[in-house]
Amino acid sequence: MRYDLPDVLTVTAAGPVRIVTIDRPAELNAVNADLHRGLAQVWRQLAADTEARVVILTGAGRAFSAGGDLDWITSFVDDPVARDESIREGAKIIEELLRFPLPVIAAVNGPAVGLGASIAILCDIVLISERAHLADPHIAVGLVAGDGGAALWPLLTPILRSREYLYTGDRIDAPTAVELGLATRTVPAEELPAAARALAERLAGLPQQALSSTKRVVNMYLSQALAGPLQAGFAAEVVTMQSADHRARLAALRGRARR
């Protein structure tokens, strides 16, 4: 099957396994407009691939996805059309992931930050490199963690633990991510691709109707629990995108990036 996606998101076939790679390694796979659009489109295309049985999602290079691209995020300050489109696409990414019928294994090979962390955690199984970490620094840049963190983490972790990490944006190392319930298990970095492939091939050999229907039932809980908080989170994030605090924090980040 031919996939129609931006170049920054690639799909390769390995028998019944599809490996989706976030492919902006020089930018640590930060999410820009093309990648955001691709992440919103890829799941329906994968679902239409009749030979696919399991998906592995990973990042090229040293990162899984190091959050939002600073230039892209800054463009929203003066472009409300692009800002609103990003919110619509963000909601679609999460909705499509929750509806997607095949099992998805996140092979978190490096930092998974912001939306990158949300996408990883929404996968069915999260294998995390011992060198990787999760983080959601939305508040640090003056934004509500609306694209998954504030809505999703409290479903999976003790609220008192998730609050601290969401409020501070501190890194969650791989063992702590597993302890909190934000990852399935740690894997030595050099073994991660092979471990993900072995698990994918095992899942591909299981009865497909039983597997996909079990996933659908499990995800009903997530979809029902997330519906209200996600809607509120995206609405609140739009408001903070227009705030003076957000503008000031972005300007400070861009200033440091130019040094």
Locate the DSSP E strands across 35-176.
54-59, 65-66, 104-108, 112-113, 125-129, 133-135, 172-173
Domain membership of residue 73 (yes or no) is yes
Give residue 258's pLDDT band: very low, low, confident or very high (50, 70, 90).
low
Residues facing 129 on adjacent strands: 187
Domain of residue 169, CATH code: 3.90.226.10
CA-to-CA distance for 163 and 6, rounded, in angstroms?
35
**Where is pLDDT greater, at 256 or 40?**
40
Domain membership of residue 219 (yes or no) is no
CA angle, residues 112, 172, 58, in degrees to nearest 5 = 25
Mean pLDDT calculated for residue range 110-133 = 97
CA-to-CA distance for 204 and 237, rounded, in angstroms?
38
Residue where the block lists tokens 């003056």? 142
The separation between the first and the last C-alpha atoms of the chain, rounded to the nearest angstrom, is 45
pLDDT in tens, 57-75: 999 999 999 999 999 999 9
Helix (H) or strand (E) run with residue 111 in it: none
Mean pLDDT calculated for residue range 204-211 = 98
pLDDT in tens, 88-112: 999 999 999 999 999 999 999 999 9
Domain membership of residue 211 (yes or no) is no
* The pLDDT of residue 259 is above 70: no
Q: Which domain holds residue 88?
A: 9-190
Average pLDDT, rounded, for the chain:
95
Number of separate domains in the chain: 1
Give residue 148's pLDDT band: very low, low, confident or very high (50, 70, 90).
confident
Asked whether 183 and 119 are in contact (CB, 8 A), the reply is: no
Helix axes 80-99, 33-47, angle to 10 degrees: 30
Domain membership of residue 257 (yes or no) is no
pLDDT in tens, 6-36: 999 999 999 999 999 999 999 999 999 999 9
Give residue 171's pLDDT band: very low, low, confident or very high (50, 70, 90).
very high
- Model confidence pTM above 0.85: yes
CA-to-CA distance for 70 and 68, rounded, in angstroms?
6
Domain membership of residue 247 (yes or no) is no
Domain membership of residue 174 (yes or no) is yes
Pairing of strands 112-113, 133-135: parallel
CA-to-CA distance for 78 and 192, rounded, in angstroms?
41
Give residue 204's pLDDT band: very low, low, confident or very high (50, 70, 90).
very high
